[in-house]
Amino acid sequence: MPVTLQRLHFPLRGLAAALLLAGAFGASARESQAQPSFDALFDQAMARYKLPGLAVGVVEDGQVVYLRTAGETRAGSGEAVNADTLFKIASNTKAMTTGVLARLVDQGKLKWDDPVTKYLPDFRMYDPWVTRNIQVRDLLIHNSGLGLGAGDLMLWPEPNDFTRTDIIAGLAHLKPTHSFRAHYAYDNLMYVVAGEVAAKAGGKPYDQLVREQLFGPLGMSRCQVGAFDRDAVGNVAQPHMVQDGRNVVVREDAAQVPDNPSMSAGGIRCSVRDMATWVRMWLDDGAAKPWVSAEQRKALWTLHTPMPIGPQLRAWDGTHLYGYGYGWRLSDVDGQWRVAHTGTLMGMYSSVTLLPDRHVGFVVLINGEGEAARTTLTEALTKHYTQPGKPLDVDHYAALLDAGKAKAKAATPELVPDTSTRTVVAPVEAKAWQGVYRDAWFGQVSLCPVGDRVEFRAAKSPRLHGPVMRVGQRLLVDWEDPSVDAEPWLTVSGAGKQATLTLAAIDPEADFSYDYRDLEFQRVAACPVK
């Protein structure tokens, strides 16, 4: 598998000092004093998790002291990942969105406590009181009252045909699960709204604002936002999932990569080189001409919404305080301050970690099924600084993860029912409930005959299609696209014009972005006659 290690020297555009990029057996002097080395951690992650591609950058005291890449942009292609390969950074986009908003605050074009309707007069939440009182800041801190991942099926799986206008209109139909500002529940749709607020306040489309306010001033020349030509840009990592023990490309980019509705929530792509520049800027709090003011940096890094502290955080990091700022997660780790975030899309994983008091930060980018790899590598890199000299490496944390999973499995019954014995539902069996259905926020789906089976098809989300199957007395949808990895139970009530249908994830641990629970379909028409 190709490996790229680099030692380069070049000026950081628009910022004070130069960057030193070191790799290839040339670890920094500071690194050599502690074990395990960055190379050892990198090699452990690649070997243990058999990743298609990996890129890691580490910043210390204003210098990029480690930059290493390995693997391929597409498994088996021979096209090596290097420091300029573009990865989807997913939800690490959120900090870029809040950074652009902070610049607009600095410029006097926006206030954090402005009502959202000041910029988007047609914006509506389910509760009229919330519509009137929700502020720009509330879009950023996951306190909207919506359930976890509410409405995410308008964003993913990509690509789909939802627009940002559809998403904002759909919010009026998403019922809250708890009171506004009551507690934390991660969402993405509010960040889509935040991007449109930025566009209105800045007087330009969101993607143009990001290029002009962020990529340009910081010299992040490889990063992409919005639509672009894949081959003209070149060197674009593709997402992978494991099939039959091999890394296989899924959801491959078309030649013309389209704009996407999740752009301001998770749609930016960057290289590890440019992400190192991003990290370095945040650690340079003494810059003569800071990218954002000290006041806005403080606002971004203030804990606005408390988050629950899980047993892993307590056990691994001794965490006592955990919460969400504006696009950043804030916590203590081994008594030190951490500012961080992760990004997750199908076949793409990223993490950005800052230890501001130590002037240290690092980024991890993966183009495969890399959740465990991201967790263990990010943790081992953190411990390199917070507990130096200890053998807390990737293998150590991987063993802890495996042991935790084994313990949980032994302590609880199997939560995922066996659906392996399934039969196709024939059109004659579904005669009473075939038809076209509509949900207020997700739009139209059909349950109609296709040959000798009945298929579920979502009008605006083409990857959500597949045959209806019977398992005992229950129905499920067998998604044809293997990258859509959360099958739902399908429940039909009533018949004919009175039929309704709902979906529910079969696996209770399915990703929360499969927001089946908020769907309420009503039959609106018969199946088209062919």
**Are residues 371 and 470 both part of a single domain?**
no
**Are residues 461 and 399 both part of a single domain?**
no
3-class secondary structure per residue, 359-386: CEEEEEEECCCCHHHHHHHHHHHHHHHH
Q: Examine the fold and report which residue of 352, 385, 408 is the final residue of a domain before the chain moves on.
A: 408
Chain position carrying tokens 């309420």: 520
- Count how many domains the chain has: 2
Q: Is residue 487 part of a domain?
A: yes
**Are residues 375 and 464 both part of a single domain?**
no
**What domain range is 477 assigned to?**
423-525
**Are residues 288 and 393 both part of a single domain?**
yes
**Are residues 9 and 85 both part of a single domain?**
yes
Contact 36, 391 (CB under 8 A): yes
Q: pLDDT digit of tens for each residue in the chain (530 aa)?
A: 444 443 333 333 333 333 333 333 233 333 333 447 999 999 999 999 999 999 999 999 999 999 999 999 999 999 999 999 999 999 999 999 999 999 999 999 999 999 999 999 999 999 999 999 999 999 999 999 999 999 999 999 998 999 999 999 999 999 999 999 999 999 999 999 999 999 999 999 999 999 999 999 999 999 999 999 999 999 999 999 999 999 999 999 999 999 989 999 999 999 999 999 999 999 998 788 999 999 999 999 999 999 999 999 999 999 999 999 999 999 999 999 999 999 999 999 999 999 999 999 999 999 999 999 999 999 999 999 999 989 999 999 999 999 998 888 787 777 788 999 999 999 999 999 999 999 999 999 999 999 999 999 999 999 999 999 999 999 999 999 999 999 999 999 998 889 999 999 999 989 999 999 999 999 999 999 87
CB count, 10 Å around CB of 283?
Answer: 20
Q: Is residue 128 part of a domain?
A: no
**Are residues 395 and 267 both part of a single domain?**
yes
Pairing of strands 305-306, 63-71: unpaired
Alpha carbon distances (Å) from 404 to 379, 381, 412, 413: 16, 21, 12, 15
Distance of alpha carbon 250 from alpha carbon 172, whole angstroms = 33
**Are residues 397 and 471 both part of a single domain?**
no
Distance of alpha carbon 350 from alpha carbon 357, whole angstroms = 23
Side chain identity at 411, as an amino acid letter?
A: A
Q: Is residue 351 part of a domain?
A: yes
- Specify the pTM: 0.92
Which pLDDT does position 530 carry in this prediction?
Answer: 75
Which pLDDT does position 153 carry in this prediction?
Answer: 97
352 forms bridges with which residues in the sheet? Answer: 341, 363
DSSP secondary structure code for residue 135 in this structure: B
3-state secondary structure of 476: strand
Q: Is residue 111 part of a domain?
A: no
**Are residues 389 and 429 both part of a single domain?**
no
For residue 529, count CB atoms less than 10 angstroms from its CB and return exposed for 0-12, middle for 13-18, buried for 19 or more: exposed
Pairing of strands 435-439, 329-333: unpaired
**Are residues 387 and 438 both part of a single domain?**
no
**Are residues 214 and 69 both part of a single domain?**
yes
Which pLDDT does position 301 carry in this prediction?
Answer: 98
Q: What is the CATH number of the domain that holds 329?
A: 3.40.710.10
Q: Is residue 118 part of a domain?
A: no
Q: Examine the fold and report which residue of 382, 408, 434 is the final residue of a domain before the chain moves on.
A: 408
Alpha carbon distances (Å) from 65 to 24, 61, 469: 11, 9, 54
Q: Is residue 89 part of a domain?
A: yes
Which pLDDT does position 313 carry in this prediction?
Answer: 97
The sign of the CA dihedral 28, 34, 36, 41 is negative
Distance of alpha carbon 413 from alpha carbon 521, whole angstroms = 32
Q: Is residue 302 part of a domain?
A: yes
**Are residues 311 and 242 both part of a single domain?**
yes
**Are residues 94 and 235 both part of a single domain?**
yes
Q: Is residue 356 part of a domain?
A: yes
For residue 365, count CB atoms less than 10 angstroms from its CB and return exposed for 0-12, middle for 13-18, buried for 19 or more: buried
Q: Examine the fold and report which residue of 408, 443, 472 is the final residue of a domain before the chain moves on.
A: 408
Distance of alpha carbon 179 from alpha carbon 151, whole angstroms = 17
